[in-house]
Structure 1
Amino acid sequence: MTDVPAPDTLFSPLIEHAIELSAQWHDGTYRKSVWRDPAFEKPEDDEIQTPVISHLAAVASIVRRAGWDEPVVAAAYLHDAIEDRNKHGQRLRRRQLRDAMGAEVTQLVAQVSEQKLDDEGEMRPWRERKEGYLDNIRTGSPEATAISLADKIHNL
């Protein structure tokens, strides 16, 4: 048996960078709800907060296990970065994401992001946002569809 040196990182540089950027952007943000198995009693002080990064890692894991390549996995880690505000109320702009991650990852993230604001910066109506999202998925790439499905699976 030959000795094979261990890799320096578990993931490729692209995925490592996506994990770092996602963790920084979503630092201090938490999931909206906590699912509990009904077989377990709900604790009195139900103050458990699940960091958003755990959801992003789960979505990326689903995508990776389904056999998608590195840019798709990287985009899965970042799939909420454009859509959701960070703890300071800021939105990550596509240009910032493109500068950090490149055009391919940014395009995938954009395809799975709901456009929440209109041209004046006002919140678009719920139905209009959801219909726009579905149109993006319907006309988008198979890679974007895979990320969207992984997101929905983990949100069940």
Structure 2
Amino acid sequence: MDAIATYSILNFNVEIPDWLQDCLRAASSAAEEPVGDHTLLIAEAFKFAYQLHQGQSRKSGEPYIAHPVAVADLLRDLGGNSTMIAAGFLHDVVEDTEITPEEIESRFGVEVRNLVEGVTKLSKFNFSSKTERQAENFRRMFLAMAADIRVIVVKLADRLHNMRTLEYLKPQKQGQIAQETRDIFAPLANRLGIGCFKWELEDLAFKYLERDAYREIQSLVAERRSDREQRLKEVSELLRERIQKTGVHCVDISSRPKHLYGIYQKMQRQNKGFHEIYDIAAMRVIVETKEECYRALAVVHDLFRPIPGRFKDYIGLPKPNRYQSLHTVVNRLYCSPTEVHIRTLEMHHVAEWG
């Protein structure tokens, strides 16, 4: 691929992520210093998408190129390679401009063409699910249509950014897209093990499909945040100290709030009020090896009293989407029960990013 012409980042009337700025600077100086093909592919794909989408706007009023940039950014966060990131920039050009798949192949290669063409085909898919069984059939058809699973990942990133900007559409369209997201896209993200996409897609769909319930739970979670954070901080400090005393290297201990839709589902499933749901947040312990996961679990159960029936070993028996972790719920003196997840760094990467 030929090096792209020198151009200033300041010329683009859209926010450019730091990593993309680095690619553009490197590509601009390719004549003076050698630059890898991956960097040139990303820079050229962005420049081409920028030129093709010039003059187009989103419903929000921002330049259309902001959407492909956001999609490419999500794919990079997932660990996507330069081919996937380039497809993120170009995923709408066949549908929204006069560019053909053949032209994409001549400029960027057959892999990028296949990804862009695959996403374009999926974008034309008409969802009209009325039952869970129909939704599952749609999900299977969707997967079957994508010869390369990366096509689904690009489409999920596209849907996630569209959900983040759904507020600019009319209420009827918001409801339709949110229902599709809940029925089709969030389960697909879960099937691929991309937890960070699944949780956000579910919460955003929840926001538009059960507006009052969403606002109520959002408010209740915010109310208890300071007390909860202080309690979890104390637990993490104590845990880290005790685990390290056993010789286990504790890579990280942190807490994460349960996503809002997950809390809502649990309330509905168990017919409980918000204040009866104790695992609003979970502790996450990350160690280096599988054996250390079980040693850390022993420390947790020695330090706190485990609640019977609340231990799950997803390391010994992983979920179908390859999720692995040890889950336990423990009681502490004068405090509400606390959920603890223990996994390795590799397991954590799979759980979050697939």
Pairwise TM-score range, normalised by the shorter structure: 0.5 to 0.7
| Structure (1 or 2) with the larger CA radius of gyration | 2
CA distance in 1, matches of 2:78, 2:144: 20
Q: What's the counterpart of residue 153 of structure 1?
A: 160
- 1:3-44 deviation line (CA, Å, top 9, x unaligned): xxx98527700000100110111111111x22xxxxxxxxxx
TM-score, with structure 2 as normaliser? 0.31
2:168 alignment partner in structure 1 = none
Q: Which residue of 2 aligns with 1:76?
A: 88
Counterparts of 1:137 and 1:100 in 2: how far apart (Å)? 28
* Aligned residues of 1:137 and 1:144 also touching (Cα < 8 A): no
> Aligned partners of 2:75 and 2:64: how far apart in 1?
17
Q: Does 1:9 align with 2:21?
A: no
Task: Give the drift of 1:142.
Answer: 1.8
Please list every run of 5 or more consecutive structure 1 residues that lacks an aligned counterpart in the other structure.
1-5, 35-48, 86-90, 117-128
Give, in whole Å, the separation in 2 of the partners of 1:138 and 1:80. Answer: 21
TM-score by length of 1: 0.68
Partner of 1:139: 145
Q: Which runs of no fewer than 5 residues in structure 2 stay unpaired? A: 1-21, 28-37, 128-138, 164-354
The residue number in structure 1 matching 2:45 is 18
Higher RCO, 1 or 2 (CA under 8 Å, sep at least 6)?
Answer: 1
Cα distance in 2 for partners of 1:30, 1:137 equals 31
CA deviation vs aligned residue, 1:54-113 (integer Å, no higher than 9, x gap): 00000000000011111000000000010113xxxxx21111111111111010000000
Coordinate RMSD, CA, aligned: 2.6
> Structure 2 CA distance, aligned partners of 1:113 and 1:152?
13
Q: Larger % of helix: which?
A: 2
1:37 counterpart residue number = none
Count of aligned pairs: 119
Q: Which secondary structure does the structure 2 equivalent of 1:104 belong to? A: helix
In terms of fraction of residues, the more strand-rich structure is: 2
CA distance in 2, matches of 1:83, 1:92: 8
CA contact (8 A) 2:122 2:142 kept: no
Query: Which residue in 2 is equivalent to 1:98?
Result: 105
